[in-house]
Amino acid sequence: MAEPFNPFPIYGYFGPTYFCNRDREKSSIISALQNGRNLTLYAPRRIGKTGLIHHVFHHLGKKWNCVYLDVQEAFSFKDFTNALLAAVLNAVSKNSSVLKKFQDWILTLRPVMSANPHSGSLQLEIDFASDAQQRTTVKEALRLLDSFGPGVIALDEFQQINAWDKDSVSIEGWLRSEVQHLKNIRFIFSGSQFHLLSEMFNSAKRPFYASTQAVAIGKITAPDYTAFIQHHFKDNRLKIGTEEINQIINWADGNTYNIQLFCNRVFSKTRKEATPEILNDSILEIYAENKLSYLALSTSMSKYQWRVLTAIALEGKVYQTTSKDFITRHDLGSSASVLRALEFLTSRELVYQYLDEAGKSYYEIYDIILMRWLQKK
Ligand SMILES: Nc1ncnc2c1ncn2[C@@H]1O[C@H](COP(=O)(O)OP(=O)(O)OP(=O)(O)O)[C@@H](O)[C@H]1O
Ligand SMILES: [Mg+2]
């Protein structure tokens, strides 16, 4: 596995050394897969779903064919079919005996093949004559993979299939029945749009109802992340105090991506010890890089919507957006206007509804950097 240039990578998976904790989640997912259970993996954005899937793949061992597919990149069933075939091909490419069988089968479909110049992975494009031919192809690919022994297919951002223009409900039902027929292949359906994914798996009207085990992942605890950060600084003969680490974790609101981003900057600037000045410079650098897009964002909505967004940022968490307290503190007028603005901000995924430990829901700005930037203005 390639080594990252900095022990706090912000893209990709570089092996367990650069991955903080998630031992419990990893074991529970592996145990489910080994015992024939399919999974749904829920988490808010940038908490570490995709990373965890690759971490699980890393630990499953060579016997397993591990297929990863980001459904968000498929805008239609045809895209999905092509991407799935390419993902299976890439997954079995490490295993020469089955690779030959899969390749021979795929060549009969006359694909146009190319290599992604960035990742080196294979891409392919087949010009399907009909929807029916696509279904047959997916079915054959899955059955072939199934005949190769244990395997797992992770369909990341699976809720995206709802956005396909074709009849996605019928595809959902068909896929569910295909999944059911496989003996050796397990599925991980993951996504960050909780309401869409949860509707697919928890509504009795939907084909995937009650067919999976749900795994929810949350923030990595502060003590675990502190130990991880300290270890990597020490490993490079650098120092960082617990106070500085606390500041990083608090600023990032415990969000994995933001902690990694902040640590990546601080690490790159540290020669001996991470000082408060280095932390401050890192934050200013992050703001400077995002400023233009935030200014563009402010002009893409009404002044009132921007004020509601700012009010939520200033509060951090808002449990009752229509409470008198909140409205008067920020001079927001009527509760009906707040609700309308909130609907707009939620639909653009600028504001997210989360559940706290007690199960109470609250609103928070999704992009923590934007939240911090609005707070300091
Ligand atoms: N346990 C971890 N330890 C260290 N870094 C992690 C960990 N989990 C994720 N990361 C890093 O944090 C960033 C965000 O993680 P990831 O992409 O897995 O999140 P996600 O929940 O899939 O996000 P999205 O909702 O955008 O798809 C990535 O750069 C990843 O490398
Ligand atoms: Mg992801």
Domain extents in the chain: 22-216, 222-296, 301-377
Longest dimension (CA), the chain: 69
Residue 16: pLDDT band (50, 70, 90) is very high
Q: Which alpha helices (DSSP H) does the chain contain, by range? A: 23-34, 49-60, 77-92, 96-107, 131-147, 168-180, 194-202, 222-235, 242-251, 256-269, 276-299, 303-315, 324-329, 335-347, 368-376
Residue 11 has what pLDDT? 92
Atom in ligand 1 nearest the alpha carbon of residue 19: 3
Mean pLDDT score across all residues of the chain: 93
Q: Does the pLDDT value for residue 148 go beyond 90?
A: yes
For residue 87, pLDDT beyond 70: yes
CA 72 – ligand 2 centroid, Å: 10
Q: Nearest to residue 20, comparing CAs of 2, 8, 12?
A: 8
Residues of the chain above pLDDT 70, percent: 98
With CA atoms as reference, report the closest residue to 88 among 111, 47, 129, 51. Answer: 111
Segment 193-246, tens digit of pLDDT: 777 888 888 888 898 888 899 998 989 999 999 999 999 999 999 999 999 999
CA of 258 to the centre of ligand 1 (A): 9
Q: Is the pLDDT of residue 1 over 90?
A: no
**Ligand 1 atom, smallest distance to 22 CA:** 1
Rounded to the nearest angstrom, the distance between the alpha carbon of 219 and the centre of ligand 1 is 11
> Confidence band (pLDDT; 50, 70, 90) for 120?
confident
CATH architecture under which domain 301-377 falls: Orthogonal Bundle (1.10)
For ligand 2, the distance from its centroid to the CA atom of residue 227, given in whole angstroms, is: 24
pLDDT value for 261: 97
Model confidence pLDDT, tens digit, residues 287-339: 999 999 999 999 999 999 999 999 999 999 999 999 999 999 999 999 999 99
Q: Would you place residue 89 in the very low, low, confident or very high pLDDT band (cuts 50, 70, 90)?
A: very high
- Domain 22-216 and domain 301-377, same fold? Reply is no
Q: How many Å apart are CA 256 and CA 253, to the nearest integer? A: 9
Which residue is closest in CA terms to ligand 1's atom 5?
A: 19
CATH class of the domain comprising 22-216: alpha beta
- The string of DSSP codes covering 162-195 is GG-SS-HHHHHHHHHHHHHT-SSEEEEEEES-HH
pLDDT surpasses 80 at 3 = no
| pLDDT per residue as tens digits for the range 243-277 | 999 999 999 999 999 999 999 999 999 999 999 99
Burial (CB count <10 Å: 0-12, 13-18, 19+), residue 2? exposed
Q: For position 194, what pLDDT does the model report?
A: 77
Q: How far apart are CA 77 and CA 174, in angstroms?
A: 12
Q: Which residues line ligand 1 (CB under 6 A)?
A: 9-12, 19-22, 43, 45-51, 192, 220, 256-257, 260
Q: What is the mean pLDDT of residues 118-147?
A: 91
Asked if the model's pLDDT at residue 166 lies above 70, the reply is no
pTM of the model: 0.93
Residues 338-354, mean pLDDT to the nearest whole number: 92
Residues in a beta bridge with 122: 115
Atom of ligand 1 nearest to the CA of 217: 21
Tokens of 132: 């029916």
